[in-house]
Amino acid sequence: MTHIVRPTVPTVIIRLFEAFRANDAVALGEAFEPHALLVAHVEPRLLRLVGNSDPDKPVRVRGNLAISRFIAQEFAAMQVMHTEVHSEIRVGRGLSVICDYEAKLLATGRVIAARSAAFYTLSRNGRKVETCRAVCSYITPDWHHALN
């Protein structure tokens, strides 16, 4: 399968993925506007590890500080080891990105693979993210299987 990645990915998105790859919740939060909204449908098994009280509902976080805290909770449960952006499509202020990543679950040492499909709305000047709507799911077949 061929993936086309344009060299027009906004700098703020590049910084966001670099911060994710570096497990840096503060830098990741700085990519968002102070009033930003994050709505994420996250794999319930991961949300349970993070300590979410209702893992079957989407995560809704408002504000870059709250986003940073939520991501820090995720990084306390897992360490991102590798990210790969497969494709991006940009129209105006909207940007759709599909990314695969590998993470080590710190409680067990198990390495899992996951995929994130996200739609970002950039600020008017394009320097920050106003909204992010994402779906994040494991692509590892089962907790008991290792990656190939």
Residue-range domains of the chain with CATH: 11-138 (3.10.450.50)
Model confidence over 28-75: pLDDT tens digits?
999 999 999 999 998 888 888 777 878 889 999 999 999 999 999 999
Q: What is the pTM assigned to this prediction?
A: 0.85
The sheet that has 32-42: what strands, in order across it? Answer: 59-62, 32-42, 129-138, 111-122, 94-105, 78-91
Q: Which residues contact 73 (CB under 8 A, 6 or more apart)?
A: 50, 51
Whether residue 139 has pLDDT greater than 90: no
Whether residue 1 has pLDDT greater than 60: no
83 DSSP β-pair partners:
101
Q: What is the mean pLDDT of residues 83-110?
A: 90
User: 144 is written with which tokens?
Assistant: 């008991």
Answer for the pair 71, 29: CB distance below 8 angstroms, yes or no.
yes
Whole-number Å distance between alpha carbons of 147 and 139: 10
Mean pLDDT score of the chain: 87
pLDDT score recorded for residue 138: 82
Q: Which residues contact 146 (CB under 8 A, 6 or more apart)?
A: 111
Whether residue 22 has pLDDT greater than 80: yes
Buried b (16+ CB within 10 A) or exposed e, 56-72: eeebebebbebbbebbb
Percent pLDDT > 90 in the chain is 59
Whole-number Å distance between alpha carbons of 60 and 81: 25
Whether residue 143 has pLDDT greater than 70: no
pLDDT score recorded for residue 65: 97
Cα atoms in the Cβ-side hemisphere of radius 13 Å centred on 47? 17
In the structure, what pLDDT confidence band is assigned to residue 110 with cuts at 50, 70 and 90?
confident
